Amino acid sequence: MHGASKTYLAVCFAIFISACGGGTAAPMQPPPANFDLQAGMAKMVANGLSSNVALSGTVTVNGVSTAFTGSGTFTRPPAISATFNGTAALSQTTTVAGSVTAAGQTKSYSTSVTDYYASSDGAFLGEVSASEYDVAQAPILFPTTVVGGSSGTLGTLSRYTDSTMSVSLGTVQVSYFVMAPVDPGSPIGIEVTTKIFDTQNTLIETDVTDYTMTTSNVVSLSGATAQNQSGTLKVTAQ
């Protein structure tokens, strides 16, 4: 859920109401649509997600913050059967790969992370990367009904160096925020934020992934950001 860097925003939308005169009533505004975020995320896990992306940000080189730009792909194939922490699960690997140019030099870039979900109800169980093994302290489910402005904390993961879970690295807190659709029937915006803490409870990284979701619960990538002491990465869907 945070992994390959998983984007985040301020909500700013306007509601336009027609002025009325001569005794004519103002048009009725339709009620806000309800969206099933749990169903949308489950469909994304089952069907996968992919997009061409633009890459940008900064990286610290020899103590100097250096800007970079680039392009690549964001891929998240359909989930497959697996085992996680001794439990039957579905696994889904997210990969961001491409090339970036900084200070006149172009280099390849690739990062990936694998998320695990319960086979029974699609609850998020944890995440594995090359250097980390994160386990949800309790299975995490997205809410079934959200509207514009909905937000909340989804859960906490415990961070470890590997599957033995013998060396703690800290925790991860996962939350969400929903942006109202531009107009009735339009997709909503979904922002999933993961804040990564070390064993001293110091925030060391913030990852944000932005999606849109239609009334048919189809989820698409909008972008993502990651920020830590080494620099920033912004992924923008094309």
Residue 8 has pLDDT above 50, yes or no: no
Question: CA 224, CA 191: separation in Å to the nearest integer?
Answer: 9
Question: CA 12, CA 23: separation in Å to the nearest integer?
Answer: 32
What's the pLDDT band for 84 if we cut at 50, 70, 90? very high
Average pLDDT over residues 99-108: 92
Which pair of structure tokens corresponds to residue 175? 């939350």
151 bridge partner residues = 177
Which pLDDT score is estimated for 185?
79
* pTM, full prediction: 0.83
Which pLDDT score is estimated for 33?
64
Tell me which of 11-20, 114-123, 130-139, 147-156 is least confident.
11-20
Question: CA 136, CA 125: separation in Å to the nearest integer?
Answer: 5
Which pLDDT score is estimated for 11?
26
**Which 3 state secondary structure label does DSSP give 39?**
helix
Q: Which residue has the tokens 């904390």?
A: 153
Residue 20 has pLDDT above 80, yes or no: no
Tell me which of 14-28, 34-48, 67-81, 201-215 is least confident.
14-28
Q: 3-state SS of the chain: helix, strand, coil percent to 5? A: 5, 60, 35
Average pLDDT over residues 4-27: 32
- Specify the DSSP class assigned to residue 186: S
Average pLDDT over residues 184-193: 92
